[in-house]
Structure 1
Amino acid sequence: MLETHPFPAFVPPLTKYLILGSFVGKPAPGYDWFYNSPRNQFWSILEAVYHLKLNSKKSQQQLFTRLSFAVTDIIYRCDRSAGNNLDTNLIDIVYNTRVIRNILSQNNIHKIYFTSRFVADKFHAHFGRLLTRFPHIRLITLPSPSPRYAQIAKEEKILLYSRLLPRLQ
């Protein structure tokens, strides 16, 4: 069954950074914003990096506003071939081209952070030409916050995120 992304991009004023994921997880209770699927480690990693409680959509958006971070996913619509959250099972992909193009065109983006190698590879394949208009943007691939990405322990992910993400002012 074809799924359409349920969340609009979050773009605070004076955005300098963009974080890109692939596509939302399967709907679950309490899943009301980016990376809030029950098993995703993204927010718990950021809690450790920034020493903040990020247990609500409001607190997460406040952090992204303080950090000048926009967030969206590269996929706008797709199907799941195996009915699970694995990126490799996403098929019939429609990219989030208009939204990403608008974020890059309407903001002074310094860095784009990808939440996995899969996202970085798909971004380069689909948005590579768009990037030629923004040669100053640094591209950074974070280790996947998925617990299935077990090649790196969560503690090491926290260290890498703390080195790569901007500091709170």
Structure 2
Amino acid sequence: MPVPSPASPLVLPPDLQQGLAPVIDRHIRVLVLGSFPGEASLAAQQYYAHPRNQFWPLLGALTGEPLPDLPYADRLARLLSHGIGVWDVLGACVREGSLDSNIRHAQANDFVRLKALAPALRRVGFNGGTSGRFAAQFEAAGYETVVLPSSSPAHAARNFEQKLALWRALLN
């Protein structure tokens, strides 16, 4: 993509939505990447805020923590204590509703600085196929990757138990 010159400033869509800040520290070994927060998550400024999203129950089952029952800040602290971080592949986009198929003007997050911010990171799990499109780039950067079935309520092809069985690969 050409770099805009001063004569041709980059014009961003007026309805560009910004994503959430990463939940990472120097000790995470696993990073779960979604695509972009849905409407409920953006409104709450919390990852996976939709009450039917299975992310928190799945991670709770994997870690043995009561994550769905905890206040959001405590959920994040517990994930970090298990060496798990959360972020999205996209830092900004235009999207009406919460479906990944509606994403337009996608802008990837800055992952160049990831090795400095999370030097212990070894495995990246992609929460669904949209974020999973980035798996090859992370493999090329030296990370183990696993593309997981989406925790979204829109992904009803598998029930919770089936998803959990596949999500176990995140921590193996």
| TM range, smaller chain | 0.7 to 0.9
Q: Does 1:67 align with 2:82?
A: yes
2:113 partner SS = helix
Pick aligned residue for 1:57 from 47, 55, 72: 72
Change in 2 beyond 3 A, CA 1:156/1:74: same
Equivalent runs, 1:18-57 vs 2, <5 Å: 18-27=31-40, 31-54=44-67, 55-57=70-72
Q: Deviations over 1:94-117 (max 9, x none)?
A: 111x2x221234413211000011
| TM-score, structure 2 as length reference | 0.79
Going from structure 1 to structure 2, the CA distance change for 1:29 and 1:17 (only over 3 Å counts) comes to: closer
| Partner of residue 147, structure 1 | 153
TM-score (norm 1): 0.80
For 1:118, the equivalent position in structure 2 comes to: 130
Paired amino acid for 2:132: A
Alignment-derived partner of residue 170 in structure 2: 165
Aligned-pair identity (%): 25
In the alignment of these two chains, the number of paired residues is: 155
Give the Cα–Cα distance (whole angstroms) in 2 for the partners of residues 139 and 13 of structure 1: 19
Superposed CA offset, 1:65-99 (max 9, x none): 1221222111111111xx21111110011111x2x
Which digits, 9 at most, give the CA deviation of each residue in 1:42-73, with x for residues without a partner?
Answer: 11222233332213212211222122122211
Q: Which runs of 5 or more structure 1 residues have no equivalent in the other structure?
A: none
What secondary structure sits across from 1:101 in the alignment? Answer: coil
Amino acid at match of 1:73: D
CA distance in 2 between counterparts of 1:37 and 1:62 reads 20
Alignment match of 2:108 (pick from 78, 95, 115): 95
Letter in 2 for 1:156: Q
Give the distance between the partners of 2:42 and 2:155, measured in 1 at CA.
Answer: 23
Q: Is the 8 A contact 2:41 2:48 kept in 1?
A: no
- Cα distance, 1:20 vs. partner? 0.5
Runs of 4 or more, structure 1, over 6 Å off, are none
SS at match of 1:49: helix
Q: Distance in 2 between matches of 1:24 and 1:53?
A: 22
RMSD of the TM alignment (CA)?
2.3
Separation (CA, whole Å) in 2 of partners of 1:165 and 1:60:
18
Q: What amino acid is the match of 2:47?
A: F
Q: State the shift of 1:28 in Å.
A: 6.3
| Higher Rg of the two aligned structures | 2
